[in-house]
Structure 1
């Protein structure tokens, strides 16, 4: 019983210390938030070369403040222009198969020595007018080429393949017009025909379908190749490689949807914490923005998940084999800048650009 007063004093002291530090008096999530906020405050002060927030007794008048806001907006626009110069060019390969029909109409000067096929390609959702066509090739299947080489060998003749663009005639007779795009001799295992001009014109137009005509000719009369040998079952593929601009805004929208952590997400992803400069007591010297969305990367990095490089993949394998090599960590992959308008140590209103303040993308490195 003699130790009771001492125990009471110790308990009171411990409770006082816990109250001051906040340990175990707040939920774990709240403690983590407080730690993150302190890290943000310390980092901003270090970046600005300040040991503590400046004390502001007199602020600018309204005219000077309006001028600074105008300069602030100019700086934001400059950063946006610089970002647009860094827009990436996204390339994509589209594979289109045509509706193929054997045609009896005559095309060109080859007469009975030719066999022709009407090809109709329909526009898909991924083929739109903003695309630039980098390459467009019509590829003939191996079975078709084998049949053509076999037929040519049996008749000691040479087989040629021609591709035409078909369009409605501008004349009163209504006849279709055929423009030769490319011709190739059938002498290899693979054969591609260049149709760049026709596809680019089609993609940039509002036409729903692209109409081509494939003609197979022999230099000697031959009746061994027809719709039964190479007809509607023949496989033709139109391979179109396109390019389009992916703007900074598009990238940011995609980044928000793809990068942000989903509910109960445990793999590497991006988390956010909204920082209010008013709530942390900094609104007297930080003028704009009033809030800052702090984003950080968190989560596990399993095998081949968002690898930053081949080195990250090798690093994971080495860690998996012996455990001596550290496993890849979830870290920022790219950033968006932020402009802070604030009073400096001399109590002058200035703005500072933080190039790596806002995490755009997370990956494993």
Structure 2
């Protein structure tokens, strides 16, 4: 939790300025996220019109809808149930964006992150949700999976993994992550066991390659992604690998900072699956987004753990430069590339 609070004394007592800023941020975000024009041509977000149509088409019998919609059963079921309640898509936007905002804020407070740069990285999911609604929800759930794994509540974390998979198939990468953490539940982590698990996952990724190719070739919406060689995020993988390296070097210190780091580092044993399959099939860049968000969490705690002193001055400089240079690259990428996917130029429906 936040250690220091600012208060304004009022006749009725005290008022927490932190909560005021939180509500103000929420109000601004919701106004922009909910009251935006959504139409064909990428207006309001590249995939925003598709999610609008998914919802509006949910006014048919359940099994007919599930069979006809090219989305995962969990997300489709939620849309179908909500369609029974309302036909106003603004309510749907309000619901999903509120969930993402609140859960992201609670998570940032859970890891006690106060670094503005890392907070920006963690919050980028709020804007990407303008385009990829399911993926954003999936990533949020993945973050909370790490919390429950760290608390050794594997029943809850398993249910959350299944929920995430039912929203977006990319969350299937959480299964090997969950298995690794469960294996080390009451065991000491050592290099030999980790190496064996990583090798096993590499064999799994190689063995599953042909099956996945067959699956994607029979899914028309994914076929175009198979041969697109420009979706392998080299810079993101370098950042992830460096945060893992730093986490290993400062493992004991990170555990003292927050035990979630153990869960994240053990989950990273599944990263080779993602790298291999992403190199072969660029559609797997979506799976990489989960690892990227987890690496942001590592970066947040690493910034707290690494302090300047004579013993680790060089290491601290490498950590800071890596995090801030990558953050700068992400910000540049956002303004030069990502803006087109989240619906810029922005058109508000309030003043139309």
Normalised by the length of structure 2, the TM-score is 0.20
Greater strand share, structure number: 1
Larger Rg: 1
Higher RCO by CA contacts (8 Å cutoff, separation 6 or greater)? 2
What TM-score comes out, normalization by structure 1 length? Answer: 0.19
